[in-house]
Structure 1
């Protein structure tokens, strides 16, 4: 007997009920920015040099993202009028408080994303993981004045009960599973939680650091993915996510290439819904039951 997760049933995307995004749009595009704080000398490295360890060279390479990279990306997002969603480690509030202030000024969405990115959650027992989620949620609520709607686990690390605990903590969606180009409802022991599409490959740590694409190759991939999905979305509504890390794509020469991708995408601003995951979630929640898989 094949072991299965039991969280959702198989669904052929070409045979699902049709719907549209707000304004009759067919393709939703969102930009996820991972704003992370790392513990010095602990946790995973980032495979930038062998061996993959968390020494001073990797720590300082990643620390560039909060000191320099995110601020250059903010300039780019402001220049092109691009809304973003930020999954932030709560230690960012302590170590880089002006980053959260800038997100607040821009009106960007903040997700739960653990305490630091030197810690994972998938290995925790249920009580410890529930406490971990609660601590992160409480800190964001205290700082932002509202609870986050969405969650992304650090390193996408899930236990067998992560989505149960998230749903029970009041989360409406999460972005840890990457099995679809449309949002789908996933089963939990106390109800359901929405899975928002998240990119493994249109993601700079995977594409540039792990797969070793050049900056121009990575941007070509973003453009090709967008162009193809724009055509595919004529047949069904889709989500085109882009995931960025300031310590990777926040380098000057990579920003130069990234601007090229966004300028291309924004040529189609009148045809796409440039949005944030929380708005995607709210729209899905408004649809008639039976339209979205798992509903």
Structure 2
């Protein structure tokens, strides 16, 4: 193993500690809720003929990649409105994982979300341009551009980040926290959705020392993983969402949990799939003791009420296990 690889591995392992699920301070969400529930619509922009990246091809087809591009265009033309109407029906404000180029390409979509007081967080600029191969300075520039674009078009200080097409470097979390602090002070750069490692928010170390957390964002419940990768039928997806919620609701009676449904307007909003999503939303929001929130609201509440206790608990467990230092 090269020294550079060892250093990268050590840095990745130092992002967060092992922290046993059943040995943590109890979380209680507002109003005594057992589950903090949020929906994260990925509203993305894909280029028909993007710049090539040596690490990853944007399309499985040669140029022009009409099938992949057009279904994603369908999502922004048709699917978004269909999903938005459904979230309105159940009183859910979306937390948008946004390809920020959409602000320029489809500002009308941004306006509809603003009118509903949805949250906007960064998903990079285009979902066909990856972090792979970028220098640290280039990645910083990309992250800054995306956060500044959100602020310019919405007035929001961007709190969250999901790397474009889930592409990362060893500096991604550090850079997002740093740029958020530079642009917006304590209000910017608060959480990542890229770790997928827990059902509760957890503190994450970044090199600036900023207070920063991982927000539960489930790949297992992500509609693209469900439909395009695992080839699940819509009726089974509805059942999966309900069962996922049932378990988190049960455990949330002991300590509050977080459920996220990550969606894509070209997946969940297709006519033959939308009913399954609606059935799940009706089921989840029909339960008492569910806090329907945005990602930022959950992050703010956790960091205000539980972040310090979480750090103390993590340190105590590390000392007990002989991992300290």
Band of TM-score, shorter chain: over 0.9
Q: Do residues 207 (structure 1) and 226 (structure 2) align? A: yes
| 2:293 matches 1:285 | no
Secondary structure of residue in 1 paired with 2:40 = strand
Q: Determine helix, strand or coil for the equivalent of 1:199.
A: coil
User: TM-score if structure 2 supplies the norm length?
Assistant: 0.85
1:108 aligns with 2:118: yes
Checking the alignment, whether the CA contact within 8 Å between 1:45 and 1:52 is kept in structure 2 is no
User: Residue 261 of structure 1 corresponds to which residue in structure 2?
Assistant: 280
Could you report, residue by residue, the CA deviation over 1:214-244 in whole angstroms, capped at 9, with x for unpaired residues?
1111111111100111111112211011110
| Cα distance change of structure 1 residues 126 and 54 upon mapping to structure 2, 3 Å threshold | farther
Structure 1 residues 237 and 109, CA, compared in 2 at 3 Å: closer, same or farther? same
Q: Which runs of 5+ in 2 are unaligned?
A: 181-188, 316-325
Q: Which of 15, 27, 30 does residue 19 from structure 1 map onto?
A: 27
Distance 1:72 1:127 in 2: 39
What's the CA shift for 1:288? 5.1
Shift of 1:174: 1.4
**Count of aligned residue pairs for this structure pair:** 291
The alpha carbon displacement at 1:289 in A equals 5.1
Residue 182 (structure 1) aligned to one of 200, 205, 211: 200
- CA distance in 1 between counterparts of 2:118 and 2:306 reads 28
Aligned position for 1:120:
130
Question: What is the CA distance between 1:52 and its match in structure 2?
Answer: 9.2
1:230 pairs with 2:238: no
Give the structure 1 partner of residue 94 of structure 2.
84
C-alpha deviation, 1:24, in angstroms: 1.4
Range moving further from structure 2, 76-85 or 175-184: 76-85
Counterpart of 1:248 in 2: which secondary structure?
coil
Shift of 1:54: 7.0
Per-residue deviation, 1:291: 2.2
Deviation at 1:53, TM superposition (A): 8.1
Structure 1 position 45, deviation (Å)? 5.0
Task: Give, in angstroms, the shift of residue 51 of structure 1.
Answer: 5.8
Residue 172 (1) aligns with residue 190 (2): yes
**Equivalent residue number for residue 44 of structure 2:** 36
Residue 146 (structure 1) shift: 2.9
Structure-2 separation of matches of 1:54 and 1:108: 34
**RMSD (Å), alpha carbons:** 2.0
Larger CA deviation: 257-266 vs 37-46:
37-46
What TM-score results when the alignment is normalised by the length of structure 1?
Answer: 0.93
How far off its partner does 1:292 sit? 2.1
CA distance in 1, matches of 2:297, 2:155: 18
Cα distance in 2 for partners of 1:167, 1:274 equals: 26
Q: Is residue 144 of structure 2 the alignment partner of residue 144 of structure 1?
A: no
Structure 1 residues 7 and 54, CA gap change in structure 2 (3 angstroms): farther
User: How far is the alpha carbon of 1:207 from its aligned partner?
Assistant: 0.5
What's the offset of the Cα at 1:10?
0.7
- SS of the counterpart of 2:72? helix
- Larger-gyration structure (1/2): 2
* Aligned counterpart, 1:244: 263
> Residues 54 and 239 from structure 1, CA distance in 2 versus in 1: closer, same or farther, beyond 3 angstroms?
farther
Matched, 1:7 2:15: yes
